[in-house]
């Protein structure tokens, strides 16, 4: 599973990255990788106009806000079960 935090490095983007790492740990996803995408052209290629955003396996799940860790866990578990 590939988890991408889309944002240029602002405080909210960093907080989302922190929450994503915590969610991966809580969900027990040892095969998941979290990466930051800071390049604006790459972010825009996702269709994101407001950061921070969270993408899982190339699909944007959240944009424009920092979700709580448990919300990210729910998203990851939902994808894993699908």
d(CA 67, CA 14): 12
d(CA 23, CA 27): 6
Full domain range(s) for residue 38: 2-81
CB atoms within 10 A of CB 53: 23
Q: Which residues are catalytic?
A: 10, 13
Task: Give me the CATH number covering residue 16.
Answer: 3.40.30.10
Please write the tens of the pLDDT for every residue from 7-63: 999 999 999 999 999 999 999 998 999 999 999 999 999 999 999 999 999 999 999
State the pLDDT at residue 73.
97
Query: Is pTM, for the whole model, over 0.85?
Result: yes
Q: Are 36 and 7 in contact (CB under 8 A)?
A: yes
Phi, psi of 62 (to 5 degrees): -145, 140
């Amino acid at each position: 599973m590939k988890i991408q935090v889309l944002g240029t490095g602002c405080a909210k983007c960093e907080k989302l990255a922190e929450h994503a790492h915590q969610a991966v740990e809580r969900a027990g996803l040892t095969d998941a990788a979290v990466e930051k995408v800071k390049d604006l052209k790459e972010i825009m290629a996702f269709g994101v106009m407001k950061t921070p955003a969270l993408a899982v396996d190339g699909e944007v799940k959240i944009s424009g806000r920092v979700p709580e860790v448990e919300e990210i866990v729910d998203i990851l578990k939902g994808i894993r079960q699908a």
